[in-house]
């Protein structure tokens, strides 16, 4: 239970106020987000089969890829988004019981997350999620006083809104996302970087980007990729979906703090069962469409609908199922907690590894491995993160990036060493 502290002083969340399972779930999400992202880092999609090392591809790779896409793609950044909303609810409650204003604090927190995210997005990794989280975090402030019912209604509508977004673009032919795709094309031509045309759109030659050995060009490439990232998020309606999940997370955070949600086995079992019953068949169907469909509008619409209807139920089912498992066997999952406590640092570390191991400015192993080997590399890196995180937290209170973020948010120097 969070109790009032000095009403004139805002301090970071203390250890006794943390909920261990949320750190575990955050750590699990970090693992599977990396397993999704490493496919892009590794050049799996952009290099031809003949570039791969002999003996690194297996007959079951295709089946493994299908299963992973069904269970992982979009599911764990959804879980991570849910955790973001839960964290917002907890910060709101912590300040509310202390009679401290929430909005100014959370705006500072989101501003500095936005700075970190923009550096990450514009210079290092086109798949960054921090920038979007920070921008939507400002919007989320407006929902913290909504009733539980309104949170569920607004969250559900926004999660389904990408379907309306697709229909609007298709019917009106006003694809506002094309503005950013065109900016990317113009930028790449100005820089003299290679491009290729696919499905009527101009894209950067990703193989050349990953093979590039110039650090300066690497940064220039990423600036251009930023325009494409913005366009892709607008085109798929990701802004609506993520905000919707944030809002559902606000509701869940309230129920965790005031309704003992994580100990309500009956409710968690219902969510787990119905989430799998609804989400797994639809997500499996979506994977089939992604793997075997074509680029005609009908198939694109089916992908959009199946993503909206299947991804969130399955993601929530996974989260609630893990909550049930943690109640019975916490020791089985506790190894994930150190990574979850340093989620921001570990997320950025994964970018550092992905770029330095696969890209031409590093070791240049892009396109060299088959699917199963890439997944094994991801697991190996995560195991290293467990060890490093555990060692770090023996001596320090926060992860290194978390420490910087907290100091910027609270506007003061915070002790990082444990005494």
Give 19-35 as a 3 state SS string.
Answer: CHHHHHHHHHHHHHHHH
Task: Give the three-class secondary structure for 411.
Answer: coil
Looking at residue 202, its pLDDT comes to: 75
Measured in Å, how far apart are the chain's first and last C-alpha atoms?
A: 25
Give start and end residues of each alpha helix (H) in 173-195.
178-191
Buried b (16+ CB within 10 A) or exposed e, 196-208: eeeeeebbbbbbb
Looking at residue 1, its pLDDT comes to: 34
367 closest CA partner among 14, 41, 10:
41
Task: Give the three-class secondary structure for 396.
Answer: strand
Looking at residue 18, its pLDDT comes to: 62
CA–CA distance, 185 with 411 (Å, rounded to integer): 40
* Cβ neighbours around 100 below 10 Å, total: 17
C-alpha distances in Å from residue 181, one per residue of 149, 174, 176, 212, 236:
38, 14, 10, 22, 13
Phi, psi of 58 (to 5 degrees): -135, 160
113 closest CA partner among 89, 87, 90, 92:
87
Looking at residue 118, its pLDDT comes to: 97
Phi, psi of 203 (to 5 degrees): -125, 155
pLDDT profile of the chain (419 residues), mean per 10: 41 57 97 97 93 94 97 96 96 90 96 98 96 98 96 97 96 93 92 82 86 96 94 94 98 93 95 97 96 89 95 97 95 96 98 97 97 98 98 96 96 91
Phi, psi of 196 (to 5 degrees): -145, 150
CA–CA distance, 374 with 368 (Å, rounded to integer): 9
Looking at residue 389, its pLDDT comes to: 98
DSSP-assigned letter for residue 127 = T
Structure tokens at 340: 């979850």
CA–CA distance, 220 with 192 (Å, rounded to integer): 11
* Cβ neighbours around 234 below 10 Å, total: 19
CA 334, 338, 339, 344 torsion-angle sign: positive
| Residues β-bridged to residue 201 | 198
CA–CA distance, 25 with 181 (Å, rounded to integer): 35
Task: Give the three-class secondary structure for 417.
Answer: strand
Inter-residue contact 262 to 98 (CB < 8 Å): no
Q: How many helices (H) and strands (E) does the chain have?
A: 17, 2
Inter-residue contact 109 to 410 (CB < 8 Å): no
CA–CA distance, 7 with 235 (Å, rounded to integer): 45
Query: pTM score, two decimals?
Result: 0.92
């Amino acid at each position: 239970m969070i109790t009032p502290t000095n009403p004139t002083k805002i301090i970071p969340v203390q250890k006794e106020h943390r909920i261990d399972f949320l750190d575990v779930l955050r750590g699990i999400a970090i693992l599977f987000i990396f397993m999704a992202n490493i496919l892009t880092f590794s050049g799996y999609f952009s290099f031809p089969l003949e570039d791969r090392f002999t003996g690194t591809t297996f007959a079951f790779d295709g089946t493994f890829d299908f299963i992973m896409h069904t269970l992982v793609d979009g599911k764990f950044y959804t879980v991570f988004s849910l955790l973001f909303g839960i964290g917002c609810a907890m910060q709101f409650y912590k300040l509310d019981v202390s009679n401290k204003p929430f909005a100014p604090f959370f705006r500072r927190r989101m501003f500095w997350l936005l700075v970190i995210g923009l550096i990450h997005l514009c210079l290092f990794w086109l798949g960054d999620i921090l920038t979007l989280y920070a921008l939507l975090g400002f919007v989320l402030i407006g929902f913290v006083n909504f009733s539980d019912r309104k949170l569920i209604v607004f969250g559900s509508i926004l999660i389904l809104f990408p379907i309306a977004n697709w229909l609007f673009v298709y019917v009106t032919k006003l694809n506002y996302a094309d503005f950013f795709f065109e900016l990317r094309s113009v930028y790449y031509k100005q820089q003299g970087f290679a491009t290729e045309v696919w499905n009527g759109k101009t894209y950067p030659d990703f193989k050349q980007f990953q093979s590039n050995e110039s650090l300066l060009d690497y940064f220039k490439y990423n600036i251009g990729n930023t325009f494409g990232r913005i366009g892709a998020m607008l085109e798929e309606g990701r802004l609506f979906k993520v905000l919707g999940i944030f809002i559902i997370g606000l509701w869940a955070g309230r129920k965790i703090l005031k309704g003992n949600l994580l100990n309500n086995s009956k409710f968690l079992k219902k969510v787990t069962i119905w989430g799998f019953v609804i989400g797994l068949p639809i997500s499996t169907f979506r994977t089939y469409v992604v793997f075997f469909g074509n680029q005609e509008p009908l198939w694109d619409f089916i992908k959009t609908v199946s993503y909206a209807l299947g991804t969130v139920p399955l993601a929530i089912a996974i989260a609630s199922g893990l909550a049930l498992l943690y109640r019975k066997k916490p020791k089985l999952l506790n190894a994930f907690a150190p990574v979850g406590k340093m989620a921001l640092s570990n997320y950025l570390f994964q970018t550092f590894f992905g770029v330095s191991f696969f890209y031409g400015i590093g070791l240049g192993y892009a396109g060299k491995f088959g699917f199963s080997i890439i997944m094994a590399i991801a697991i190996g890196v995560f195991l290293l993160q467990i060890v490093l995180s555990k060692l770090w937290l023996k001596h320090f209170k926060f992860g290194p990036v978390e420490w910087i973020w907290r100091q910027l948010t609270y506007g003061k120097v915070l002790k990082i060493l444990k005494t």
